Structure 1
Amino acid sequence: MTELEIDINQKIGEWDVIQEAGSQLKPMYGPGYTGMRNLGNSCYMNSVMQVLFNIPDFQTRYFSAADEIVSSASANPSTDFNTQMTKLAAGLLSGVYSKNPEKLEEEPNQPNAPHYLQPPSGIRPQMFKTLVGKGHPEFSTKRQQDAQEFLLHIISVIEKNSRGSVNACDCFRFQIEDKVTCTASKKVRYASREDYCLSLPVPVDAAINKEEVKKYNEERAKTDATTLVDPKSIVRPIIPFSECLTAFLEPALVEDFYSSAIQAKTSALKSTRLATFPDYLMVQLRKFTIGDDWVPRKLDVSVQMPDTLELCHLRGRGLQPGEEELPAGDSPPEPPLEISEATVTQLMDMGFPRESCKRAIFHTKNQGVEAAMNWVMEHMDDPDFASPFDPPQSGGGAGGGGGGASGPKAAFEPNPEGLGMLMSMGFSLEQATKALKATSNNMERAVDWIFSHADELDQPMETEDASEGGAAAAAQLPKYKDGPEKYKLVAFISHMGTSTNVGHYVCHILRDGQWVIYNDEKVALSENPPKDLAYLYLYQRM
Structure 2
Amino acid sequence: MTLAIPESRYYKFLKRVRASTERTLFYAPGRNDHAVEHFRETGYPLAVKLGTITAEGKGDVFSYAEDDMVEDPYLAQHLQHFGINVQQLQKTDKSMVELELELNRRTSEWSTLQESSSELRPLQGPALTGLNNLGNSCYINSVVQVIFRIPDFIRRFVEGAPEIFSTFPEDPVNDFNVQTAKLGVGLLSGRYSFLNEEEGSQRGVSPHMYRQLVGRGHPEFMSKRQQDAHEFYLHLLTLIERHSRHKANPADCLKFSVEERVQCGQSRGVRYTRRVEHHLPLPVPVAAASNAPDVRRYEERRAAAEAAGQRLDPSQVVRPLIPFQACLDSFMKEETIEQFNSSALNNKVTAFKRTRLATFSDYLLVQLKKFTVREDWTPAKLDVAVDIPWEVDLSALRGRGLQPDETPLPEAAAETPPPEYNEALLAQLLDMGFPVEACKRALYYTNNAGMEAASNWLMKHMTDWDFANPFTPPGSRTEDSGPPADEASVEQIMCMGFTREQAGAALRATGGDVPRALDWIFSRADELDAPPVAPAQPAAPDRALGCRDGTEKYRLIAFISHMGTSTMVGHYVCHVLHEGRWVIFNDNKVALSENPPKDLGCMKGCDVFTKNH
- TM-score (structure 2 length as normaliser): 0.69
Q: Which residue of 1 aligns with 2:84?
A: none
Instruction: Please name the residue that 1:68 is paired with.
Output: 163
Change (3 A) 1:217 1:330: farther
In structure 1, what is the equivalent of residue 459 of structure 2? none
How much has 1:232 moved relative to structure 2? 3.4
SS in 1 for 2:565: coil
Q: Which residue of 2 aligns with 1:58?
A: 153
Equivalent position of 2:485 in the other structure: 416
Corresponding residue of 1:25? 120
How many angstroms apart in 1 are the aligned matches of 2:205 and 2:557?
23
1:196-216 Cα offsets, whole Å, 9 max, x none, are 000010000001111111110
Instruction: Give the direction of change, closer, same or farther, for the CA distance of 1:197–1:45 in structure 2 (3 Å limit).
Output: same
Q: 1:297 to 1:326 in 2, by over 3 A?
A: same
The aligned counterpart of 2:243 is 161
Q: Which residue of 2 aligns with 1:286?
A: 369
1:177 aligned to 2:259? yes
C-alpha distance after superposition, 1:7-28 (max 9, x if no partner): 9279611100001112110000
Q: Deviations over 1:327-380 (max 9, x none)?
A: 112887249xxxxxxxxxxxxxxxxxxxxxxxxxxxxxxxxxxxxxxxxxxxxx
Q: Distance in 2 between matches of 1:71 and 1:498?
A: 46
Distance 1:477 1:11 in 2: 48
Describe the shift of the 1:120–1:489 C-alpha distance in structure 2 as closer, same or farther (beyond 3 A): closer
Q: Are residue 191 (structure 1) and residue 262 (structure 2) matched? A: no
Residue 457 of structure 1 deviates from its aligned partner by 2.6
Shift of residue 101, structure 1, vs aligned partner = 5.4
Question: Tell me, which stretches of 5 or more residues in structure 2 are unaligned?
Answer: 1-24, 30-98, 419-476
Q: 1:43 and 1:305, CA in 2 relative to 1: closer, same or farther beyond 3 A?
A: same
Q: For 1:368-419, what per-residue CA distance to the aligned partner results, in whole angstroms no more than 9, with x for missing partners?
A: xxxxxxxxxxxxxxxxxxxxxxxxxxxxxx9xxxxxxxxxxx9968732254
1:83 aligns with 2:178: yes
The 8 Å contact of residues 63 and 86 in structure 1, kept in 2 or not, is answered as yes
SS of alignment partner, residue 489 of structure 1: strand
1: CA distance, partners of 2:482 / 2:195 = 64
Indicate the RMSD between aligned Cα atoms, in angstroms: 3.0
Q: Say if 2:132 is the partner of 1:37.
A: yes
Alignment of structure 1 residues 198-217 onto 2, 5 Å: 198-217=280-299
Aligned equivalent of 1:257: 340
**1:153 and 1:84 mapped to 2: Cα distance?**
16
Do 1:278 and 1:481's aligned partners in 2 also have CA atoms closer than 8 Å? Answer: yes
Task: Give the secondary structure class of the aligned counterpart of 1:124.
Answer: coil
Are 1:429 and 2:524 matched, yes or no? no
CA distance in 2, matches of 1:334, 1:451: 31
Q: 497-506 or 442-451, which moves further after superposition?
A: 442-451
Structure-1 residue corresponding to 2:92: none
Of the three residues 466, 469, 486, the one matched with 2:553 is 486
* Aligned twin of 1:513: 580
Decide which of 281, 290, 302 is 1:220's aligned counterpart. Answer: 302
Report the CA distance shift for 1:139/1:311 in structure 2 as closer, same or farther (over 3 A).
same
Residue correspondence of structure 1 range 394-413 to structure 2 within 5 A: none
Instruction: Provide, for residues 110-147 of structure 1, a one-character-per-residue CA deviation record: whole Å limited to 9, x for no partner.
Output: xxxxx9xxx96111000000000000000000111111
SS at 2:529 equivalent: coil
In 2, the alpha carbon distance for the partners of 1:213 and 1:298 equals: 17
Q: Distance in 1 between matches of 2:204 and 2:108?
A: 27
2:356 to 264, 273, 280: 273
Correspondence for 1:242: 325
Cα contact 2:582–2:592 (8 A) shared by 1:
yes
- Is this contact kept in 2: 1:287–1:298, CA < 8 A? yes
The answer to whether the 8 Å contact 1:493/1:506 transfers is yes
The DSSP-based 3-state class of the residue aligned with 1:416 is coil
Q: Note the C-alpha offset of 1:81.
A: 0.3
Question: Is the 8 Å Cα contact of residues 100 and 569 (structure 2) preserved in structure 1?
Answer: no
Equivalent residues in 2 for 1:67-146 (5 A)?
67-100=162-195, 121-146=203-228
Aligned residues: 451
C-alpha distance after superposition, 1:449-495 (max 9, x if no partner): 21122222322245799xxx758x88997421110100000000000
Asked if 1:448 is matched to 2:519, the reply is yes
Q: Which moved more, 1:450-459 or 1:29-38?
A: 450-459
1:191 maps to amino acid? T
The alignment partner of 1:537 has SS state of strand
Within 2, Cα distance between the matches of 1:288 and 1:56?
30
Aligned-partner Cα distance in 1 for 2:332–2:402: 17
8 Å CA contact 2:101–2:570 kept in 1: the answer is: no
Residue 498 of structure 1 aligns with which residue? 565
**Distance in 2 between residues matched to 1:411 and 1:538, nearest whole Å:** 35
Tell me if the contact between 1:484 and 1:541 (Cα under 8 Å) persists in the aligned partners.
yes
Give the structure-1-normalised TM-score.
0.77
Percent identity, aligned pairs only, is 51
Structure 1 contact 307–489 (Cα < 8 Å) conserved: yes
Structure 2 match to 1:16: 111
Q: Which residue of 2 aligns with 1:387?
A: none
Gaps of at least 5 residues in structure 1 are 103-114, 336-397, 399-409
Structure 1 residue matching 2:244: 3-state secondary structure: coil
- What is aligned with 1:540? 610
Conservation of the 8 A alpha-carbon contact between 2:560 and 2:573:
yes
* SS of residue in 2 equivalent to 1:16: helix
Query: In 2 relative to 1, CA 125–61 (structure 1 residues): closer, same or farther, beyond 3 Å?
Result: same
CA contact (8 A) 1:34 1:93 kept: yes
Q: Deviations over 1:216-243 (max 9, x none)?
A: 0111112248856444311000110000
Structure 1 residues 11 and 203, CA, compared in 2 at 3 Å: closer, same or farther? farther
For residues 168 and 509 of structure 2, the distance between their equivalents in structure 1, rounded to whole angstroms, comes to 32
Q: Distance in 2 between matches of 1:88 and 1:227?
A: 48
CA distance in 2, matches of 1:411, 1:199: 28
Question: Matches of 2:543 and 2:598 in 1, distance apart?
Answer: 40
SS in 2 for 1:23: coil
| AA aligned opposite 1:426 | G
Pairwise CA distance, 1:420: 4.1
Q: CA deviation at 1:435?
A: 3.9
The 5 A counterparts of 1:262-411 are 262-329=345-412, 333-334=416-417
Distance between the aligned counterparts of 2:266 and 2:565, measured in 1? 44
Residue 528 of structure 1: how far off its partner (Å): 0.8
Q: 1:9, 1:228 within 8 Å by CA — same for their partners in 2?
A: no
Contact 1:199–1:284 (8 Å) recurs in 2: yes
Contact in 2 for aligned 1:11/1:496 (Cα 8 Å): no
